[in-house]
């Protein structure tokens, strides 16, 4: 081999080594990235996303993925695409009853008045019994789906009497504008839009007072939580602090407030509407999170009971194949307890 050939070989080997090094680095970076799925509901923690607080606090690469419904984000989690997700109590209950290895680690909000069944003005629906023969849009396996079925049961109706149509929020807004549906059980920002030409028949707050509470929660892949406890704890700490800031300043928030701007940015909503929407929810503080009200007290805790009641109802409706013996095994307060000490 000549000197020229040797030189060429060395250069080629060096180039190959550099390329391999870059590819390995990119693969390592991809492996280190944490993927978090979220939905478009308005809540204080959207400011954590908008301001990159989690990235700054942990130094981790975060891949944020937005989903239209809890059912969709849970499906992504089941396929291994998501490490952490936010979803309503109904899709969470459906997931654990199907064997998905996830844990509920934080209650983002008690839904309260922020989800409602709205019926079109002029539809002839004044009382619940007037729903018979009408078309209602609702995202299936969502908290609103659970409450829609529960409401019909209380009204002496069933899904043979009322045509429930599986629709994602944007599809509900479009169907409402076309006049294709008579009502919808949904959340903001679509809720606010359809209220402009409709009226609220019943809210999730009303139905919760009848014994079937709903919430939006944060769930984690169980293995991910075991391997990354500090990260999960830090995330919860940031959410808890942001919620505390909201509770302390909610009476003075304006559309120009950075928190409000961040929420509007992440949800696609109007900054002028954000404060009003937030007021419909209840955001539990960290003390109540770890108490019997929500994550604490095992099977007697509020979250475990809500999952149990939701699961029982979904089973009655044929939405899940079987029930678990104990729903507290899907609730893990340890990260919130650790965050409370930071």
Let me know whether 277 and 317 are in one domain: yes
Helix (H), strand (E) at residue 223: helix 222-227
Secondary structure of residue 119 in the 3-state scheme? strand
Whether 166 is in a domain gets the answer yes
Q: What is the pTM of this model?
A: 0.81
Q: For residue range 75-96, what is the model confidence (pLDDT) as tens digits? A: 999 999 999 999 999 999 999 9
**Which one, of 250, 274, 232, lies nearest residue 106 by Cα?**
232
Let me know whether 132 and 67 are in one domain: no
CB 318: neighbour CB atoms within 10 A? Answer: 7
How does the average pLDDT of the chain come out, rounded?
90
Task: Please say if the pLDDT value at position 47 is more than 50.
Answer: yes
**Which one, of 132, 260, 265, 115, lies nearest residue 186 by Cα?**
115
Whether 28 is in a domain gets the answer no
Q: For residue range 300-332, what is the model confidence (pLDDT) as tens digits? A: 999 999 999 999 988 987 889 999 999 999 999
Q: What is the rounded distance in angstroms from the CA atom of residue 75 to the CA atom of residue 87?
A: 11
Beta-carbon contacts of 237 under 8 Å, excluding residues fewer than 6 positions away, are 339, 342
Let me know whether 249 and 322 are in one domain: yes
Whether 101 is in a domain gets the answer yes
Let me know whether 102 and 226 are in one domain: yes
Q: What is the rounded distance in angstroms from the CA atom of residue 335 to the CA atom of residue 210?
A: 31
Q: Please tell me the predicted confidence (pLDDT) of residue 318.
A: 86
Domain containing 128 equals 115-209
Task: Please say if the pLDDT value at position 267 is more than 90.
Answer: yes
Report residue 31's pLDDT band, with 50, 70 and 90 as the boundaries: low
Let me know whether 106 and 119 are in one domain: no
Of 209, 239, 273, the residue at which a domain comes to its end is: 209
CATH number of the domain within which 126 lies: 3.40.190.10
Let me know whether 38 and 133 are in one domain: no
Let me know whether 90 and 233 are in one domain: yes
Of 194, 209, 224, the residue at which a domain comes to its end is: 209
Phi, psi of 39 (to 5 degrees): -115, 175
């Amino acid at each position: 081999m000549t000197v020229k050939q040797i030189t060429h070989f060395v250069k080629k080997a060096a180039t190959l080594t550099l390329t391999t090094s870059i590819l390995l680095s990119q693969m390592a970076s991809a492996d280190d990235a944490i993927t978090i799925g979220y939905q478009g509901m308005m809540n204080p923690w959207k400011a954590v996303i908008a301001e990159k607080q989690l990235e700054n606090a942990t130094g981790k690469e975060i891949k944020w993925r937005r989903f239209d419904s809890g059912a969709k984000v849970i499906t992504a989690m089941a396929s291994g695409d998501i490490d952490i997700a936010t979803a309503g109590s109904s899709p969470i209950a459906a997931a654990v009853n199907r064997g998905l290895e996830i844990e509920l680690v934080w209650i983002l909000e008690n839904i309260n008045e922020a989800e409602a069944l709205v019926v079109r003005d002029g539809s002839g629906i004044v009382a619940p019994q007037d729903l018979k023969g009408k078309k209602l849009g609702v995202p299936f396996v969502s908290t609103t789906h659970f409450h829609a079925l529960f409401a019909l049961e209380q009204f002496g109706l069933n899904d043979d009497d009322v045509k429930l149509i599986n629709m994602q929020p944007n599809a509900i807004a479009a169907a409402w504008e076309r006049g294709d549906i008579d009502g919808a059980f949904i959340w903001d920002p679509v809720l606010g839009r359809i209220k402009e030409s409709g009226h609220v028949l019943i809210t999730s707050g009303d139905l919760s007072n009848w014994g079937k509470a709903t919430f939006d929660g944060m769930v984690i892949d169980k293995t991910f939580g075991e391997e990354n406890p500090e990260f999960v704890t830090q995330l919860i700490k940031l959410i808890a602090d942001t919620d505390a800031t909201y509770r302390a300043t909610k009476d003075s928030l304006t559309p120009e407030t950075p928190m409000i701007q961040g929420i509007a940015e992440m949800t696609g909503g109007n900054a002028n509407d954000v404060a009003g929407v937030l007021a419909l929810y209840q955001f539990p503080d960290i003390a109540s999170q770890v108490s019997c009200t929500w994550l604490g007290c095992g099977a007697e805790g509020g979250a475990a009971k809500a999952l149990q009641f939701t699961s029982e109802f979904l089973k009655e409706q044929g939405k899940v194949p079987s029930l678990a013996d104990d729903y507290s095994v899907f609730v893990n307060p340890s990260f919130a307890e650790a965050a409370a000490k930071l």
